Chain A
Amino acid sequence: MGKAKTDKADGRVALPADCRIADLAAVKAALEAALSAPAAELDGAAVERVDTAALQLLAVFRREAAARGMAVRWAGASDVLRDGAARLGLAQTLELPAAMPA
């Protein structure tokens, strides 16, 4: 249930359980911080609720990272996150892992 966290050194961002429009300011700040790291790692394993605004934020981040030639890896993605991304046609943009690697 923790808030989005980032660690400058390795650019890790853990997405919160409730990843929806009301709580995205912290996620955005964490993602912005992660952009300054050489590579980023997103952890969406804990996501229980997600909405369009959150997926849009992630898409914007992925595009910005790609534009900077920065590698982004998923450490995990919950079913809810993958389902949401697929329904919005963003699965490819987000490069979510097809099945969750443990």
Chain B
Amino acid sequence: MSTVSLAQFHQTFFDESHEGLDAMETALLALDGGGDKELVHGIFRAAHSIKGGAATFGFPDMAAFTHEAESLLDELRDGRRAVDAGIVEVLLRSVDCLRGMFARAQSGQPLADADSEALRHELAAMVGRTLAPAAAPARRSDDAATGWSIAFRPHRGMLAGGNDALRLLRELGELGELKAEAELDRLPGLAALDPSECHLGWRLELRGDVTRAAVQSVFDWVEDECDLTIEALPGAQVHHAPVVAEAAAAVPAPAAAAPKAAVREAAATESSVRVGIDKIDSLINLVGELVITQSMLDTFREDFDASRLEMLQQGLAQLARHTRTLQESVMGIRMLPIGSVFNRFPRMVRDLSQKLGKQVKLDLVGEQTELDKTVLEKIGDPLVHLVRNAIDHGLETPDRRRAAGKGDTGTLRLEASHRNGSIVVEISDDGAGLNREAIIAKALQRGLIASAEGLTDEAVADLIFQPGFSTAAVTTDLSGRGVGMDVVRRNVVDLGGSIQIRSVAGKGSVFTITLPLTLAIIDGLTALVGGEHYIVPLASIIETVQLRSEHLRTVTGGGELFHFRDGWLPVLRLQDAFACHGTRRPIEQGLVVVVEGDGSRLGLFVDELIGQQQAVVKSLEANYRRVSGISGATILADGSVALIVDVAGLSRQLSRRRAA
């Protein structure tokens, strides 16, 4: 008898269940703030679908677990039990636990672990049932040590890349008690062995009070050169099933049993986008239009005379229009609402504020704002960092807020919007604001600045983006893990964006991240410099001016400044910056493109401007190597290559040169 393999449906089940879990979490958080019956129904439905799917697709452990959660939800639904903080807490932990199960299912590991079993018993106990202790997960209660089980399989080239596994294991050994078991099954024979290739793998057991992040950081450098899975050892971090009746009587959110950092393993190997059917339909529609236009243009091939010239022009204009719309629609497929990133924050803010004893109200605005999937994926971590910082350092505890004459509850606001062809994400809080004195003191101590004299507030705020900068009086486990604002800025700049801070002491801070809509295509102005074409991204251009020599001032050190609006801006001659050939034109014979990058403005001096065009960005890094001042390349209509100017990079270069 032939059986249909259900494995092909697993990915769909995982995707849908992740959405279900997200929905459950959102609803639970809403419920926590006093929600209605409909929310409970929604949570129940989500849990029920997961249970059904798990049973159908052969994940009995998951089905058994969800069954207990569902029983509890059923009592809430019937009104047999009232919703309280304790129940929400347990259900949130169940969501985390299910996420962990899905992560394990995706990597083909056993689903149930000690944590999930303990939680399952806890859930059962809440509805007044006692389960037989499960045999499967070994719970060594005599062994209180926490620890990690690590499977580490280097790729062949890792050793040749200069990363010695021996050094990594030595580093791990410094964290705790390490047991290594080598996997020899992939070793070739002696004759076939290339000694520089790695064929060994290891199963490691690390015991000791070590965080996952610490373990992970050992492997930071080889992330892409090995297969790595890190799991809590069974017996580690066991929440023992509480004894029956007590648990039912609402324990208000035990701080000790804070939900384990959600195990969101990035197990997804294949990335995919779910596209709305309306987007697909509009694409098909557009392609249809294109075909019609093309067949119309085709008729000119057979008989063409000057009388039909106007029609031809119309046809070509139509073709251009359709191509552009089609391009926009295709790009649109990659556009996803930022809500999928924002979604993680309600939970995070709730957990963090509880942990820190602060009261925080989270406002999310503009969740429907769409941006490129790649940008979306990479902006998550910087945002998490900023939100963490805002709660940890920005917002004050209720008593300090009262002392400052503010309400007990602080407000944290995340707002996304489209502005001038970019995405702007603002993270604002009404907390204490940046502490100018503390920042200056720290910067002096770190030798980042020589003196604080004459530093504007912006310049002081900018200091927190310097590597290794952290002013938190106490290094908490939230912030201050060595990854600072410099990484946030670098991530944003890598995406072609910029970040700014506005802060008023006692009133709060606003972090503004500006991101390009997409990384694949930019609108640019083509400029001629020394006979070569360069493209200046339109988004960074403020104005183009023609200067007369009397507008120009030469300052000591050879720099040139020009008067723009009500200030002076530096002029950067692209010809010098990129060492182009050709004669150096006097300033009257060229144009100055005023641009803004990385928060400061400057004028780029070019020979002439040719016109505006869309440039499909080709990575210079991938095809050649990174060149400073250049963000990429594109191919012009005549087949020649034009380089795209990295305005932020040039602006940084210039300010470094001036500082030096």
A32–B193 Cα distance when bound, in Å, is 11
Determine whether the beta carbon of B195 is less than 8 Å from that of A89. no
Cβ-based interface call for A41 (8 A): no
Q: Kindly state the separation between the CA atoms of A27 and B169 in the bound complex, as whole angstroms.
A: 24
Residues 28-79 of A at the B interface (beta carbon under 8 Å): 28, 31-32, 35, 50-57, 59-61, 63-64
Max chain A CB contacts within 10 Å: which of B166, B184, B188? B166
Contacts A21-B159, A24-B195, A56-B198: A88 and B182 contacting too (C-beta < 8 A)? Answer: yes
The answer to whether A60 touches B188, judged by C-beta atoms less than 8 angstroms apart, is: yes
Q: What's the minimum C-beta distance from A18 to chain B, rounded to whole angstroms? A: 13
Number of A-B contacts (CB under 8 A): 77
Complex CA distance for A54 and B184, rounded to whole angstroms: 15
Alpha-carbon gap, A78 to B178, bound state (A): 22
> Which among B179, B190, B193, B198 is the interface contact of A52 at CB below 8 angstroms?
B198
- Which single residue of chain A is at the shortest CB-CB distance from B189? A64
A27 vs B190: C-alpha distance in the bound complex, in angstroms? 11
Chain A residues with CB under 8 Å of B198's CB are 52-53, 56
Asked whether A87 lies within 8 Å of B180 as measured between CB atoms, the reply is yes
- A92 CB, min distance to chain B CBs, angstroms: 9
With CB as the reference atom, state the residue of chain B lying closest to A34.
B190
* Choice from B165, B166, B190 contacting A28 with Cβ under 8 Å: B190
Closest to B180 in A: A89
Check A88–B196 contact: CB distance below 8 A. no
B169 touches A87 (CB 8 A): yes
Q: Does B134 count as interface, using CB distance less than 8 angstroms? A: no
Q: In chain B, residues 154-183, which have Cβ atoms closer than 8 Å to a Cβ of chain A?
A: 159-160, 164-166, 169-170, 173, 178-182
Whether A51 lies near B184 (C-beta < 8 A) is no
Question: Across the interface, do B159 and A93 meet the contact criterion of CB distance under 8 Å?
Answer: no
Contact residue among B159, B170, B180, B191 (Cβ-Cβ distance under 8 Å from A53): B159
Q: Roughly how many angstroms separate A89 CA and B201 CA in the complex, as a whole number?
A: 10
B residues within 8 A CB of A24? 195-196
Closest to B193 in A: A60
CB distance from B172 to the nearest CB of A (A): 9
Q: Which chain A residues lie closer than 8 Å to B191 at the CB level?
A: 32
Interface of A is mostly: helix
Q: Are B182 and A57 in contact (CB under 8 A)?
A: no
Q: Which residues of B contact A55 (CB under 8 A)?
A: 166
Known: A60-B193, A90-B182. Is A21-B160 also a contact (CB below 8 A)?
A: yes
- The chain A residue with its CB closest to the CB of B191 is A32
Q: Verify B193–A57 contact, CB threshold 8 A.
A: yes
> Is A89 within 8 A of B181, CB to CB?
yes
Task: Judge whether A1 is part of the interface by a CB distance below 8 angstroms.
Answer: no
Chain B residue with minimal CB distance to A64? B190
* CB-defined contacts of A63 to chain B, threshold 8 Å: 184, 187
A54 vs B182: C-alpha distance in the bound complex, in angstroms? 14
B59 contact set on A, CB distance < 8 A: none
Complex Cα spacing A71 to B195, Å: 23
Q: Which B residues are in CB contact (< 8 Å) with A54?
A: 195
Contact B166 A52 (CB under 8 A): yes
Q: Is the CB of B187 within 8 A of A87?
A: no
B200 within 8 A of A: yes
Contact A59 B164 (CB under 8 A): no
Instruction: Report which of B179, B181, B187 forms a contact with A56, defined as CB distance below 8 A.
Output: B187
- Asked if B159 contacts A52 (CB within 8 A), the reply is yes
Contact between chains at A87 and B190 (CB < 8 Å): no
A90 to B202, CA, bound (A): 10
User: B196's contact among A27, A35, A53, A59, by CB below 8 Å, is which?
Assistant: A53
A93–B187 CA distance with the chains assembled, in angstroms = 12
**B205 shortest CB reach to chain A, Å:** 10
Q: Is the CB of A88 within 8 A of B189?
A: no
Q: Is A99 part of the binding interface, using a Cβ–Cβ cutoff of 8 Å? A: no
Whether B199 is near chain A, meaning CB under 8 Å from some CB there, is: yes
CA distance A16 to B588 in the complex (A): 71
* Cβ of B612 to closest chain A Cβ, rounded Å: 54
A26 to B233, CA, bound (A): 42
Q: Out of B169, B179, B195, name the residue touching A57 (CB < 8 Å).
A: B195
A-B contact pairs, 23 of them (CB 8 A): A21-B159, A21-B164, A21-B195, A21-B196, A25-B195, A27-B195, A28-B190, A31-B190, A50-B166, A52-B164, A52-B165, A52-B198, A53-B196, A56-B187, A56-B195, A59-B182, A59-B184, A60-B188, A60-B193, A63-B184, A87-B170, A87-B173, A88-B169
In the A-B complex, the 10 residue pairs with the smallest Cβ-Cβ separation, listed nearest first, are A89-B180, A24-B195, A89-B182, A52-B165, A64-B190, A52-B166, A51-B164, A89-B181, A57-B195, A53-B159
Instruction: Give 8 new A-B contacts, CB below 8 A, not counting A21-B164, A56-B195, A89-B181.
Output: A21-B160, A25-B195, A35-B190, A52-B159, A54-B195, A59-B182, A64-B190, A93-B182
